[in-house]
Structures are given as structure tokens and as C-alpha cells.
Amino acid sequence: MTANNFRCGFVAVVGRPNVGKSTLINTILGSKVSIVTPKPQTTRHRILGVDSHAEHQVIYVDTPGIHRNANKAMNRLMNRTAANALIDADLVLFVTEATRWTEEDQDVLQRLESVKAPVVALLNKIDKVHPKEALLEALSVMSARRDFAEVIPISARRRDGLKSLTELVRDYMPESEPLFPEDMLTDRSEDFRAAEVVREKLTLALRQEIPYGLTVQVERFEKDENGIAMHAVIWVERDSQKGIVVGKGGTLLKKIGRAARLELKAQYRVPVHLELWVKVKDNWADNEQDLMRLGYESP
């Protein structure tokens, strides 16, 4: 037992792609630690979000969505990353949509069968449930799928139910000294987070399959009292993708760079100089060695 009964532990946030896991963590922390887009595969890495209070510290583990069809090495790596987050978790938040249950949700539920930690089911996006009476049925159906520790309706975007959720999470944490400094928000470096901002803007600007065939690698990130200087490479898998990302006369790349620069400027409150290049690395997303070189961690 700790001297002051301080509580600290890990909460793995899991679910199928694009169900609202990153939005949930960002909203709880009141800060953007994970990028968010309407497209699947936005989260590709394990990202810790640290929620520190006077008497407890909760470390939320944002995970990639678990994919049913892991055809490429990157998808298999993301599935392993999500599965490994469950091993050391003190609590698991299984995020689903209140209005929708898919085969991928069922796959995630099956993966949770061997998890020893308590599992709380979260029915997200309850603001989209109409009529409201349908929510009671959704809660009943979810409760019948497994013996969950709790089944809680929430709207991560609108903060509905989050106060009760964070209080419940605190109570599940074991007694332990804090694992991170109280002013630390995430374990990820500034250059990693800056690269993710660029990738977010790319994902939002590009259509169809292009966002899934690109990644961003920071080659230079310097920050001082005068501002930030950042040079980054956008890697794509094919020559045809390079032309799409650059756009006619470089217009799309300029648009993406401007959007990323403005967000980074607002985030760090300093001037930002951002230079982007687009390069081709054939089939990088299906090559584990390329993935490691580009900053993807092997669980």
C-alpha cells in the first residue's frame, strides 16, 4: 500500500477502427494527444495519455483499431500493438457505437475473452441514437454479450457520461505511486506529434485509399524561443500517389502544409516554419523493416 493511498494504473482503450477511441482520450485529457479523422486507420501507434490528479493518475493507452483483414504488415503490426496493450492493463475500455454492431466489433470482443483485467463496455455516440428509448435496448443487448464489469453509454464528442466514466476508472486503479510527472501529458515526443498533425491533414485532404499508403517522417525538428523549424518527408508507395499528394502545381501540398503549420502554431504558440517533401518507397506498408525505419514500433 502506498503511503498516501495514491492510485495509478493503465487503461487500454480498444475497439474496431474509427469507433471514437482517440476522441474519447483527447476529450478526457482536454488536449489533443492523438490525431482524429473520420477515416479508419488514423491511429497507427500506441500512444499514452496521462491524466494526473492530486490523488490518482490514469494512463490511457490509445491503440490502433483492430482489423479483421490484416493483409499488410502494417495492419498486422497494428493488431499486435492493440493486443499487447491488453497484457498490462489494469482496466479495459471496449468502445463500440451505440447505433451499430459489426463483425469487427465481434472480433474485438472475442479477443477480450482471455483478458484478465475488468472490461467496461462503452456505447459511444449516444447523441446519434433516435428515438432515445432505443438506447435502453442497445444497453440490454450489449450487457448480454458478455459479463462486463460495467456497460456505460457515452458521447465522447459531447462529453456525455464522461464525468461518471472517469470517476469509475479512478476506482478501478490499483494503489501505486504515480508513474509519470504530473505535468506530463503523453509519452510521445514533440516531433512525433508534429508528424502526426501533418498526417492528419493529409488524411483529411485526400480521398479513397491514398491516406493508407502514406506516412510522415520528420528529418529535422528544432524548437527554440524564436519558433519551430521542421522538415518532413511524406512517404508514399507508388509514383502515381506522389502526383496526387503534390497536386497540380503543388497546390495540394501547399494546402496541407499550411493547415499543419497553423495547427502547430496554435498548439505551441510560436512561429512555425514547415517544409514538406514527397518521396516514394515501394510497398513500404508491407515491409516490416521499412516500418521500423519509419518509426513504427514492433510490439
Q: Could you tell me the pLDDT band of residue 299, with boundaries at 50, 70 and 90?
A: low
Q: What is the pLDDT of residues 134-179, one digit of tens each?
A: 999 999 999 999 999 999 999 999 999 999 999 999 999 999 999 9
Which cell numbers hold the place of 298? Answer: 514492433
Distance CA 234, CA 224 (A): 24
| Residue 135 and residue 224 in one domain | no
Whether this prediction's pTM lies above 0.85 is answered by yes
Closest CA to 258 of 277, 241, 268, 273: 273
Q: Could you tell me the pLDDT band of residue 278, with boundaries at 50, 70 and 90?
A: very high
Phi, psi of 296 (to 5 degrees): -85, 130
Distance CA 198, CA 276 (A): 9
List the CATH number of the domain containing 23: 3.40.50.300
Say if 299 falls within a structural domain: no
Say if 119 falls within a structural domain: yes
| Residue 117 and residue 248 in one domain | no
**In the chain, what percentage of residues exceed pLDDT 70?**
98
| Residue 194 and residue 158 in one domain | no
| Residue 214 and residue 89 in one domain | no
What's the confidence (pLDDT) of residue 200?
A: 95
List the CATH number of the domain containing 240: 3.30.300.20
| Residue 142 and residue 28 in one domain | yes
Q: What is the pLDDT of residues 263-273, one digit of tens each?
A: 999 999 999 99
User: Is residue 291 over pLDDT 70?
Assistant: yes
Which cell numbers hold the place of 59? Answer: 494512463
User: Is residue 242 over pLDDT 90?
Assistant: yes
Say if 32 falls within a structural domain: yes
Distance CA 226, CA 282 (A): 38
Distance CA 24, CA 147 (A): 23
Q: Could you tell me the pLDDT band of residue 218, with boundaries at 50, 70 and 90?
A: very high
Boundaries of domain holding 56:
7-172
| Residue 166 and residue 219 in one domain | no
Say if 100 falls within a structural domain: yes
What's the confidence (pLDDT) of residue 3?
A: 52
| Residue 146 and residue 218 in one domain | no
Distance CA 234, CA 260 (A): 13
| Residue 42 and residue 164 in one domain | yes
Mean pLDDT of all residues in 177-189: 95
| Residue 160 and residue 13 in one domain | yes
Mean pLDDT of all residues in 219-242: 94
What's the confidence (pLDDT) of residue 1?
A: 44
What's the confidence (pLDDT) of residue 262?
A: 97
- Of the two residues 119 and 42, the one the predictor is more confident about is 119
Q: What is the pLDDT of residues 34-61, one digit of tens each?
A: 999 988 778 999 999 999 999 999 999 9
Say if 111 falls within a structural domain: yes
What sign results for the dihedral spanned by CA atoms 147, 153, 155, 159?
Answer: negative
User: Is residue 2 over pLDDT 60?
Assistant: no
Which cell numbers hold the place of 110? Answer: 472475442
**In the chain, what percentage of residues exceed pLDDT 90?**
79
Boundary-marking domain end, from 172, 204, 229: 172
| Residue 209 and residue 77 in one domain | no
User: Is residue 10 over pLDDT 60?
Assistant: yes
Mean pLDDT of all residues in 2-29: 91
Q: Do residues 86 and 11 lie in contact, with contact meaning Cβ atoms separated by under 8 Å?
A: no
Looking at the structure of the chain, the number of domains it has is: 2
Residue 247's region, left for phi above 0, alpha for psi from -120 to 50, else beta, is left
- Of the two residues 140 and 207, the one the predictor is more confident about is 140
Closest CA to 279 of 205, 230, 215: 215
| Segment of 2-6, 60-64, 82-86 carrying the highest mean pLDDT | 60-64
Q: What is the mean pLDDT of the chain?
A: 92
What's the confidence (pLDDT) of residue 68?
A: 73
| Residue 150 and residue 36 in one domain | yes
Boundary-marking domain end, from 172, 206, 236: 172
What's the confidence (pLDDT) of residue 282?
A: 93
Distance CA 8, CA 208 (A): 41
Distance CA 86, CA 91 (A): 9
- DSSP assignment of the chain equals --TT--EEEEEEEE-STTSSHHHHHHHHHTS-SS---SSTT---S-EEEEEE-SSEEEEEEE-PPPPS---SHHHHHHHHHHHHHTTT-SEEEEEEETTB--HHHHHHHHHGGG--S-EEEEEE-GGG-SSTTHHHHHHHHHHHHS--SEEEE-BTTTTBTHHHHHHHHHHHSPB---SS-TT--BSS-HHHHHHHHHHHHHHHH--TTGGGGEEEEEEEEEEETTEEEEEEEEEESSHHHHHHHH-GGGHHHHHHHHHHHHHHHHHHTS-EEEEEEEEE-TTGGG-HHHHHHTTPPP-
Say if 179 falls within a structural domain: no
CA 181, distance to chain mean position in Å, is 22
What's the confidence (pLDDT) of residue 75?
A: 86
| Residue 81 and residue 227 in one domain | no
